[in-house]
Structure 1
Amino acid sequence: MKTVQDLCTHKQKKKMDPKIVKVIGQLVDVMLRNLTVPKYVDPGTPMIKVRIGNVVIPNTLIDMGVIIKVMTIERKEKLSIKGLRPTPTVLQMADCSVVKPKEINPTNNPYDFPIVGRNEASKRIIPIAALNSYKTRWTIKARDTKKGQLHHFNNAREDGKVFSFDLVDFDGDEIRVTCFNVIAKEFYDRIDIGRVFITSKERLKPTQNNFNHLNNEWEFILESNSEVEFCLEDNSLIPEQIFHLTRISEIENMKSISMVDIIGVVLSIDPPNIIFKRDATRIKKINIQLKDMSTCMVELTMWGGFCNKEGQKLQEMCNLGTFPILAIEAAQIVILVENLLEQLP
Structure 2
Amino acid sequence: MLPELTAGALDLIMNGTEVENPVFQILGHKRLASSSTGERYRLLVSDGVKSNSFTMLATQLNNLITDNILSEHSIVRINRYALSMVNNGGTQRRVMVILNIEVLVPGNEVGVVLGDVNSENAKSEEVANHAANKPNVVSQKPAAPAPAPKPTQNNNLNDSISSGINTTPIIALSPYQNRWVIKARVAIKSPIRTWSNSRGEGKLFSMDLLDESGEIRCTAFREQCDQFYDMIEIGEVYYISRCMLKPANKQFNNLKNDYEMTLTNDSEVIVCNEENEKIPNLQFNFMPISVIETTPKDELLDVLGIVKSFSDVQNLIARTTGRELKKRDVNIVDESNNMVSVTLWGQQAVDCDWSTNSVIAIKGAKIGEYQGGKNLSLVASSMLQVDPDIPQAHKLRGWFRTVGANTESRSLSTTNASSGMNVQWVTFQEADENKFGHQDHPSYFICKATVNLIRSENVLYKACPSEGCRKKVVDQSNGMYKCEKCQREFPNFIYRLVATANLVDWTGNEWATAFNEDAEILMKASAQELGELNEKHKDTFLEKIGAAAFKSYIFKLRYRMENFNDENKLKATIVNIQPINYKEYTEHLLNKIQELADIKK
Matched with 2:242 is 201
Distance 1:344 1:2 in 2: 52
Q: 1:27 to 1:166 in 2, by over 3 A?
A: closer
User: Do the aligned residues in 2 keep the contact of 1:302 with 1:344 (CA within 8 Å)?
Assistant: no
In the TM superposition, 1:62-101 aligns within 5 A as none
Matched with 1:67 is none
Return the TM-score normalized by structure 1: 0.63
From 234, 238, 250, the equivalent of 2:291 is 250
Matched with 1:147 is 189
Matched with 2:276 is 235
Q: 1:325 to 1:158 in 2, by over 3 A?
A: same
* 2:374 pairs with 1:332: no
* 2:202 pairs with 1:160: yes
From 335, 356, 367, the equivalent of 1:293 is 335
* 2:341 pairs with 1:307: no
Q: Which runs of 4+ in 1 moved over 3 A?
A: 96-99
Query: How many angstroms does 1:97 deviate by?
Result: 8.6
Which AA in structure 2 matches 1:125? Answer: T
User: Do the aligned residues in 2 keep the contact of 1:261 with 1:327 (CA within 8 Å)?
Assistant: yes
Q: Percent identity?
A: 31
* 2:313 pairs with 1:279: no
Matched with 2:232 is 191
Distance 2:299 2:283 in 1: 18
Which AA in structure 2 matches 1:251? Answer: I
Query: How many angstroms does 1:128 deviate by?
Result: 0.7
In the TM superposition, 1:103-114 aligns within 5 A as none
Aligned length: 237
Matched with 1:12 is none
User: Do the aligned residues in 2 keep the contact of 1:252 with 1:339 (CA within 8 Å)?
Assistant: yes
* 2:174 pairs with 1:132: yes
Which AA in structure 1 matches 2:223? Answer: V
Query: How many angstroms does 1:326 deviate by?
Result: 1.2
Q: 1:2 to 1:157 in 2, by over 3 A?
A: closer
Which AA in structure 2 matches 1:143? Answer: R
Which AA in structure 1 matches 2:177? Answer: K
User: Do the aligned residues in 1 keep the contact of 2:252 with 2:300 (CA within 8 Å)?
Assistant: no
From 259, 268, 279, the equivalent of 2:309 is 268
User: Do the aligned residues in 1 keep the contact of 2:251 with 2:299 (CA within 8 Å)?
Assistant: no
User: Do the aligned residues in 2 keep the contact of 1:303 with 1:344 (CA within 8 Å)?
Assistant: no
Query: How many angstroms does 1:169 deviate by?
Result: 0.8
State the SS of the aligned residue for 2:296. coil
User: Do the aligned residues in 2 keep the contact of 1:194 with 1:240 (CA within 8 Å)?
Assistant: yes
User: Do the aligned residues in 2 keep the contact of 1:91 with 1:98 (CA within 8 Å)?
Assistant: no
Distance 2:174 2:149 in 1: 33
State the SS of the aligned residue for 1:251. helix
The one of the two structures with greater contact order (alpha-carbon pairs below 8 A, sep at least 6) is 1
| Gap regions ≥5 residues in structure 2 | 1-5, 9-141, 381-601
Matched with 2:257 is 216
Which AA in structure 1 matches 2:236? Answer: R
| Gap regions ≥5 residues in structure 1 | 4-25, 33-49, 51-61, 65-89, 100-119
Query: How many angstroms does 1:288 deviate by?
Result: 0.9
Distance 2:163 2:272 in 1: 18
Which AA in structure 1 matches 2:367? Answer: I
User: Do the aligned residues in 1 keep the contact of 2:160 with 2:167 (CA within 8 Å)?
Assistant: no
Matched with 2:379 is 344
State the SS of the aligned residue for 1:183. helix
Q: 1:97 to 1:190 in 2, by over 3 A?
A: closer
Distance 2:7 2:248 in 1: 47
User: Do the aligned residues in 2 keep the contact of 1:97 with 1:122 (CA within 8 Å)?
Assistant: no
Larger Rg: 2
State the SS of the aligned residue for 1:186. helix
CA distances 1:175-221 after superposition (whole Å, capped 9, x unpaired): 11111111111111111111111100001111122332222111111
Query: How many angstroms does 1:2 deviate by?
Result: 8.1
Query: How many angstroms does 1:344 deviate by?
Result: 3.0
User: Do the aligned residues in 2 keep the contact of 1:161 with 1:185 (CA within 8 Å)?
Assistant: no
* Structure ranking higher in strand proportion: 2
Distance 2:149 2:238 in 1: 36
State the SS of the aligned residue for 1:343. strand
RMSD: 2.9
Distance 1:238 1:98 in 2: 15
Q: 1:195 to 1:2 in 2, by over 3 A?
A: closer
Distance 1:263 1:325 in 2: 7
Q: 1:331 to 1:91 in 2, by over 3 A?
A: closer
